[in-house]
Structure 1
Amino acid sequence: MVKFSSSFILSLCFLVSFSQSSKTKIEMIASNWNTTKEATFEKFDNRETLVLKKGRITVKNQKFTNGTIEVDVYANTIRSFAGITFRKKDNTMEEVYMRLHKTNQADAIQYTPIFNNESNWQLYREHQANVLFKNKGWNTLRIEVNNDQAKVFVNNEEVMSISNLRTDNISGEIGLFALFTNRFSNFRITPKESSEVPEKTEETPTDLNIIKKWKITEAKLFDRKNLNFKNFLKEEYITVTTEKSGLLPISKYIKKASSGNFEQNTEDYTIAFTNIYSEKEETKLFSFDYSDTILVYLNGKIIFEGKNGFRTKGIQYMGHLDINTNTLYMPLKKGNNTIHCVVIDKANGWGLMAKMQ
């Protein structure tokens, strides 16, 4: 039997601990990255840098679970977006990015889950924050991740706390995101073991009137002339569950025919169905919101049509969701009543939320 001294064991433990928490710098050279045609590596400001025109790029052979991710982004005052992607598996991941042209505005920085290659920022207004960016030199974005929580820092100042990372991924690839060209440098990773976090509290109190389960169809290309309520009854549906706020992030459950190209996507739709039982004829209040467009059917008849997409009501209109935005007084018959919502989306967040009271 081989015996080891206590000092050797202590040294080994120290080395393991050090390796789990030591900072690793990923140089901005093509051999370190799963590069794309949108990426260029070049010297700038006495640094190795990556210029990313659009899209995402990941680090080769690197998985991330918990710890710290940091990157420097060169100041940019024109409309552009730059951020960090982490725990990427296939086309689902977590993402935090800066809207560099929106310095000192309420939505200067954003956290969003990416589900099936679709950003969902419209659905998560609570994960935006005001940040004052430098307009010259480098801005440092840092994310500290611990299990399903994260803290976000810009230039060493904490700007956002995320209590519930929305994807189910616990580990995955890491990388960078840009839209309309940004320059990155000094990408660093510090892996860490997870630590205990306080018991999670609900971001929004659960309302007993919220519709928590829906049945939805697969995504299809939208063409209004092909919609026929009789066909709704022949569709195959899967049952899905909302978040505690009542939000149903549709892209989490079904993949769109066209995704990842923002406003260049085609319009897709799904049919969301629920059944409401009433013991008598009565009128109930149906409160709801959606993105981007909706047709609401009660017992087979259209009772509402609306649009709530990004910029549909003006250039500054965001299309964020609030369950109390739209209200309908629904005349329910005795027995079962069916609600079918045709939810149509192009980009930025495919969502539905509703309650009946």
Structure 2
Amino acid sequence: LSFSDPQWKFYGDSAKVETFDGRQVLRLENSAAARPDVRLQDGTIDVDVMTSRRRSFVYFNFRVQKEGEYEDFYLRPHKSTLPDAAQYAPVYQGQSAWQLYYGVRGTAAPDIVPNVWQHLRIVLSGRRAAFFLGDTVKPFMVVPRLARDPQPGYIVLIASVPGGTPGNGVAARYSNLNVRPGVIAYDFANAPAEPALPAGVIDKWDVGPAFAAPDSAVSAIAPEWVSSFRSLPIEPDGFVELHRHVPMPKVTRYVGAVARVRVIAERAGTRRLDLGFSDRATVFLNGTVIFSGDATYDFAARRDGLIAFDQASLYLPLRAGTNEISVVVTDRFGGWGIMGRFPDMTGLRLQQ
């Protein structure tokens, strides 16, 4: 795809098509370029990319349905060879869920060499994707399950540099872009299987409507937050991805919702619940606050806010019979989710 093709849509003053290293190049820095005429579901994307070592984010969005709805892949050149140097994440309602997709679900540690051309290849087949950098034989990352339902969509290239980032060098240059729908240039037969969930996972949550949440811990549940509920299933990874299911209100920072589950205990006693959340959670047991936690991303404090079952272990004083666990879960950015498991389900039953 020639970058001089008029089908390209450019966003941002720094998006430029130029000649560099004797080749046609798309130069991006805090800018984007889209090809809305491209329709790719399964196939192969090849492109040469050149980055710097500045703190920056070099994106290749694919299967884009519309603004704010797409699959996202990006490089973090400043984190070259670190576990999250490359990132896959779905985007719903304009919100990336990168805090929910890491490890085998969506991060890897390629060597991103600055100021040289490296060949990037992305191969898509149904729910699976393989990513290559500087090598078209062995992928550095194979995602066993893309989150969004496979649909044809277009592509968008983006590069961004956070404000105040020191150093110099163009965030990203792209060259020799080739999109081949229907060509699956990787054999997924030996791809890793989806990881199995541990026992005792809560497999669905009742979730109320979204609301604009305060930028602080919640100490009480407002009546309108529980005015209605709908049952939401977990993803194969064990969490409910709330941006996928819950329409967002117009908020400037935090969005929240109440996620509820009822557990029936044969007898009274203290039972452990492992809880994962993004970003903040306040837990009510039978109407009483028993826990509040904050895992909001904090760059200065080096806190990534990744969701996991081991974020918190709560020891619940359950009564005999039905117990209601309500979690007010709020999010600022990076992924809005809730997950939980009872390591020992003996004498317990989740109310269906």
Q: What TM-score does the superposition give when structure 2 sets the normalisation length?
A: 0.84
- Count of aligned positions: 326
State the alpha-carbon separation in 2 of the partners of residues 310 and 236 from structure 1: 30
Match of 1:285 among 272, 281, 290: 272
Aligned to 1:256: 248
State the alpha-carbon separation in 1 of the partners of residues 211 and 237 from structure 2: 27
- Is the 1:88–1:169 Cα contact (8 Å) retained in structure 2? no
What per-residue deviation string (whole Å, max 9, x for no partner) do you get for residues 75-116 of structure 1? 211011112111111222112111111112221111111122
Q: What TM-score does the superposition give when structure 1 sets the normalisation length?
A: 0.83
Mapped pair 1:184 → 2:184: no
Letter in 2 for 1:36: Y
Aligned to 1:242: 234
State the secondary structure of the residue aligned to 2:223. helix
Please identify the structure whose Cα radius of gyration is greater. 1
Aligned to 1:212: 203
> 1:196 Cα deviation (Å)?
9.0
State the alpha-carbon separation in 2 of the partners of residues 354 and 340 from structure 1: 12
Specify every segment of 5 or more residues in structure 2 that has no aligned partner in the other structure, as ranges.
162-170, 345-352
Aligned to 1:118: 95
Mapped pair 1:317 → 2:308: no
Specify every segment of 5 or more residues in structure 1 that has no aligned partner in the other structure, as ranges.
1-25, 260-264
Please give the root-mean-square deviation of Cα atoms over the aligned residues, in Å.
2.5
Match of 1:338 among 308, 311, 324: 324
Identity %: 25
State the alpha-carbon separation in 1 of the partners of residues 217 and 123 from structure 2: 49
Aligned to 1:303: 290
State the secondary structure of the residue aligned to 2:54. coil
Aligned to 1:9: none
What per-residue deviation string (whole Å, max 9, x for no partner) do you get for residues 170-218 of structure 1? 2211221322243322221011167996599753323331001011123
State the alpha-carbon separation in 1 of the partners of residues 193 and 286 from structure 2: 34
- Is the 1:41–1:48 Cα contact (8 Å) retained in structure 2? no
State the secondary structure of the residue aligned to 1:252. helix
> 1:39 Cα deviation (Å)?
5.3
State the secondary structure of the residue aligned to 2:209. coil
> 1:55 Cα deviation (Å)?
6.1
State the alpha-carbon separation in 2 of the partners of residues 182 and 289 from structure 1: 35
Aligned to 1:164: 145
Map residues 1-357 of structure 1 onto 2, 5 A cutoff: 26-29=1-4, 31-37=6-12, 40-45=15-20, 46-54=22-30, 56-90=32-66, 91-126=68-103, 127-156=106-135, 158-180=139-161, 181-192=171-182, 198=189, 203-223=194-214, 228-229=220-221, 231=223, 234-257=226-249, 266-311=253-298, 315-356=301-342, 357=344
